[in-house]
Amino acid sequence: MIAQHPLDSRRAAYAWPLVLCLVGVDYFSTLAYLPSIAVQAAGPLAPVAAGVVVLVTFLLALPVYWYVVGRAPDGRGATGLLEQLIAGWRGKLVVLTMLGFAAADFVITRSLSLADATIHLLHNPHGRKWLERLPDNFLPDAGALWPPFESLLQSLAQPQVFVTLALSIISFGLWYVLRRGFTRRIMLATTLAVGCYLLLSGIVIGCALADLSKNPAVLTSWWDEITPAATAAEPTTADSHWWAWLAACLWSFPQMALGLSGFEMIMTVAPRVRGRSADQHEGRVRNTRKLMLAAAAIMAVYMVGAVSVTTLLIPRAELLPGGEAEHRALSYLAHGSSLSDATNQEITSSALGEHFGDLFDLSTILILGLAGASVTIGLQNLLPHYLNRLGMEISWAGRVSVILHVLNAVVLIVTIAFHASPTSQQWAYATSVLVLLAGAALAAAIDLSRLPTLGLKKFVLVPLACGAGGFFLTMTGLTVLINHSGLIIALAFVVAILASSIVSRWIRSTELRFQGFEFADEHTRTRWKELRSSGPKILVPHRPGLLTLAQRNEHLQRDYLLDPATPVIFVEAFVGDPSNFYQQPLMRIEMDGELEVIRLSRCVSVSHVLAAICLELCRDGGTPPQIVFGWSTEPPLAANLNFLLLGEGNIPWMVKELVRKAMPDPVRQPRVVIG
């Protein structure tokens, strides 16, 4: 019997505040670069845009995932729920798409976070001194090398790219620790890292707010900037301001969507959340919802605070590309750098100073280096499970961490391709985040629509989930329209997984892929034990609808000259979901008049289940059975394609090959007769 590699339900569980910090290394680390991105996207309206993100979080994302975690608390989240709701190859393609964007999310989270850690490192005074010691040119004279290779070396020689790659390689050591499991020490370490970062960020934001309280004119000048005075030719109203603000915020939402990146990560770590011993399932769901609410509330406060002080205090030029505060706005404030309002009037700074700034940079670099941890958990659990169901044997890959090595290599490639630029990668990150949010809304909407009764829950949540799905899909389309890099990366993963799956299924087509039978009732279980221990028997596959069992039996006696003393048992196999690879059919043994028939449902492949019956009947010393087929008029090519995609076709040959491969001893092999 072949194991299916299900998600491990015996993993250690922890109190939800500890798991919150595990999620926080991904979710809260976006505060390092999100404020400057917000200003670049929305300009002076960045605080309003941050408020819109908070509203979307609490009105759309949080209710959707609040429902999803109750339906799928096993770590598979919306992807697992979609797999249950959409059957067949269509469901597999939806799951593959979600996995592709989840893998893209993992890669971009790692690459962008490490690129931003490099920015913090190189803009630190100590990093600047290190840069000054570097030679101006590492490369030989122009033209001495092959042009593409020379271009690659020039890219690698850039300090931003070189240091990011170095941090990536150093961080690989962390994943060797994480792949062994999240111990309590690791959970405490992430708690310490997140706690220090939030504390230091809170101090920076608090001091910046103190600076604002000393300079009330800053708020006045900012308000005048976002609400231009009316003229006689173009009078303005409060309504026109609101509509202009809303349009600007929606246009900038794709870039601001990074502030929503934590919810799918929370789904992946849900099995790590400890519930009460008396009600583990309900307790885990309840505590995971507490975790979601706490994470959203913390992120809302910090994001609005960070974006507001960044917009109001840091000179706009410093936040634009090439500025000192680009992708490090809080670090800029932590070092006590020069401040000014929209009218470029100098503002007295609390001047936290270089020593505090060094400490803040160290904390930021640490949490950015840890970013990707919860996504790693998700991929370690999700990829083996789904790849296995698609027919890819990944037990060896799990042992040697091949999947993790491949993703690490992709991180390096993406870093070089994007020149380690957070600005270039933010679009790919936003695309993956929005698609995962849209997938969760789709899963919730489909599941809610199938509720048997029309209650208040269904009446309220179905329109909400549909509205959330439509909004996130619209924002995804806008993001892809602006920059399609995220779509390309995700589709590359999808195509690679799908192609590998097809090749693997073809290569493994003669593998039994059988996990045992489930029995419909106790009579079937008892009768099956009797058949396994009885003497010779003849199995006859029968397809209902062509002939009755009585007619089929008459043809057998007439055409095959069977021994009347040898019992004939008919087998009817009904295909369930042929897109699955492993199967555990449901068996029911019944009498149809005087004829005995084994009926099997939920089959993935007819030939595999027939071979499994033959092999199971001759195990433990049982007499090998004989199975009798009629000739098929199906063309060979159509038979092979039907077998690969639909689980039917080419049955006699495939049964013979499966039996031969699973039972090498010719004496013990069941006899396959075609006539």
> pLDDT, tens digit, for every residue of 354-383?
889 899 999 999 999 888 766 666 666 666
Q: Give residue 56's pLDDT.
A: 94
Q: State whether 292 and 426 are in the same domain.
A: yes
Q: How sure is the predictor about 149, in pLDDT bands with cuts at 50, 70 and 90?
A: low
Q: Are residues 457 and 351 in the same domain?
A: yes
What CATH number does residue 149 fall under? 1.20.1740.10
Would residue 553 count as lying in a domain?
yes
CATH number for the domain spanning 591: value is 3.40.50
Whether residue 546 is found in the same domain as residue 494:
no
pLDDT at residue number 2:
36
Based on the fold, state whether residues 483 and 523 are members of the same structural domain: no
The arithmetic mean of pLDDT across residues 545-559, rounded, is: 79
DSSP per-residue codes, 153-202: HHHHHSHHHHHHHHHHHHHHHHHHHHTT---HHHHHHHHHHHHHHHHHHH
pLDDT higher than threshold 50 for residue 480: yes
Number of H helices, E strands in the chain: 28, 7
400 has a pLDDT exceeding 60: no
| CA 140 from centre of chain | 44
Pairwise pLDDT comparison (507 vs 563), residue with the higher score? 507
Say what the pLDDT of residue 136 is.
58
Question: Are the C-beta atoms of 598 and 587 separated by less than 8 Å?
Answer: yes
- Packing angle of the helix pair 238-256, 34-42 (nearest 10 deg): 130
Would 318 be classed as within a structural domain?
yes
Beta-bridge partner residues of 346: 340
What pLDDT does 511 receive? Answer: 76
Residues 400, 488, 35, 170, CA torsion sign: positive
Highest mean pLDDT among 45-59, 478-492, 543-557, 574-588: 45-59
pLDDT band with cut points at 50, 70 and 90 for residue 641: low
Q: 5 falls in which pLDDT band (50, 70, 90)?
A: very low
Residue ending a domain, among 450, 479, 506, is 506
Share of the chain above pLDDT 70, in %: 79
Residue 150, pLDDT score: 62
Q: Is residue 1 part of a domain?
A: no
Q: Does the pLDDT at position 650 exceed 80?
A: no
In a domain, 233, yes or no: no
Lowest-confidence pick of 104-113, 136-145, 221-230, 344-353: 136-145
pLDDT for the residue 624: 84
The reported pLDDT for the residue numbered 134 is: 64
- Mean pLDDT along residues 11-27: 85
Would residue 153 count as lying in a domain?
A: yes
Residue 658 pLDDT exceeds 70: yes
pLDDT score, position 435: 92
Q: Which of 42-51, 130-139, 368-377, 452-461 has the lowest mean pLDDT?
A: 130-139
Residue 185, pLDDT score = 76
| CA 41 vs CA 26, 245, 250: distances in Å | 22, 13, 10
Over 80: is that where the pLDDT of 639 sits?
Answer: no
Residue 232 has pLDDT above 60, yes or no: no
Out of 226-230, 295-299, 562-566, the most confident range is: 295-299
Q: Is residue 513 part of a domain?
A: no
pLDDT number for residue 644: 53
Each residue's pLDDT tens digit, 259-273:
888 787 888 888 888
Q: How confident is the model at residue 675 (pLDDT cuts 50, 70, 90)?
A: low
In a domain, 287, yes or no: yes
CA distance 17 to 188: 10
More confident residue, 6 or 219: 219
Q: Render pLDDT for 157-191 as a digit per residue (tens, 0 to 9).
A: 778 888 888 888 887 776 666 656 567 777 888 89
Q: Are residues 495 and 569 in the same domain?
A: no
Residues 358 and 417 in one domain: yes
Task: Answer yes or no: is pLDDT of 4 > 50.
Answer: no
What integer pLDDT is reported at residue 229 of this predicted model? 47
Average pLDDT over residues 112-117: 91
Asked whether residue 557 is assigned to any structural domain, the reply reads: yes
The average pLDDT across 463-486 equals 90
Least confident among 342-356, 438-452, 654-668: 342-356
Q: Give long-range contacts, CB 8 A cutoff, 24+ apart: 120-125.
A: 120/32, 120/328, 120/331, 120/361, 120/364, 120/365, 120/368, 121/163, 121/167, 121/361, 121/365, 122/159, 122/160, 122/163, 123/324, 123/328, 123/331, 124/331, 124/357, 124/358, 124/361, 125/354, 125/358
Is the pLDDT assigned to residue 301 strictly greater than 80? yes
pLDDT at position 405 is 74
Q: What integer pLDDT is reported at residue 169 of this predicted model?
A: 84
Q: Are residues 487 and 580 in the same domain?
A: no
- Of 18-27, 65-74, 404-413, minimum mean pLDDT range: 404-413
User: Strands (DSSP E) along 468-585, which ranges?
Assistant: 518-519, 538-541, 568-575
Question: What is the average per-residue pLDDT within 593-613?
Answer: 87
Answer yes or no: is pLDDT of 9 > 80: no
State the pLDDT confidence band at 555, using cuts at 50, 70 and 90: confident
State yes or no: pLDDT of 240 exceeds 80. Answer: no
Residue 336 buriedness (CB in 10 A; 0-12 / 13-18 / 19+): middle
Give the pLDDT of residue 340: 66
Mean pLDDT score, 3-31 = 74
Which of 506, 539, 569 is a domain's end point? 506
**How many domains does the chain contain in total?**
2
Specify whether 92 is located in the same domain as 137: yes
Q: Within this chain, do residues 530 and 466 fall inside the same structural domain, yes or no?
A: no
* pLDDT at 201 (0 to 100): 94
> What is the residue range of 596's domain?
518-674
Same domain? For 167 and 287 the reply is yes
Residues 56, 82, single domain; the answer is: yes
Across the range 544-571, mean pLDDT stands at: 78
**651-675 average pLDDT score:** 81
Q: Which of 506, 541, 559 is the last residue of a domain?
A: 506
Both 352 and 440 in a single domain? yes
**Cα 580 to the chain's mean position, in Å?**
20
Confidence of residue 53 (pLDDT cuts 50, 70, 90): very high
